[in-house]
């Protein structure tokens, strides 16, 4: 079982390592902070507790702060 991950210039197929694998698990694995990332699953905004399913497209978007 796999999903498509898109983050910055990265676009790759990734295996789902276990059942109930969530966006939060993915962010932890990639050492990314949920406070600086917006997550989309198949084009829809989702929260970090969302479970990743087979053939999903997960897009992670870096939030840019300025001032």
Fold category of 2-62 in CATH: Ubiquitin-like (UB roll) (3.10.20)
Q: Is pLDDT at 55 greater than 80 in this prediction?
A: yes
Residue 6: predicted pLDDT: 98
Q: Is the confidence at residue 65, as pLDDT, over 80? A: no
What pLDDT, in 10s, does the model give residues 26-45? 999 999 999 999 999 999 99
CB 60 within 8 A of CB 39: yes
Task: Give the Å distances, CA to CA, from 4 to 11, 25, 57, 64, 67.
Answer: 7, 15, 5, 23, 34
Reported pTM: 0.92
């Amino acid at each position: 079982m796999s999903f498509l991950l898109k983050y910055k210039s990265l676009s790759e197929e990734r295996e789902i390592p276990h059942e109930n694998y969530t966006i939060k698990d993915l962010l932890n694995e990639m050492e990314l902070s949920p406070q600086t990332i917006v997550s989309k699953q198949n084009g829809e905004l989702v929260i970090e507790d969302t479970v990743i399913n087979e053939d999903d497209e997960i897009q992670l978007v870096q939030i840019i702060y300025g001032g």
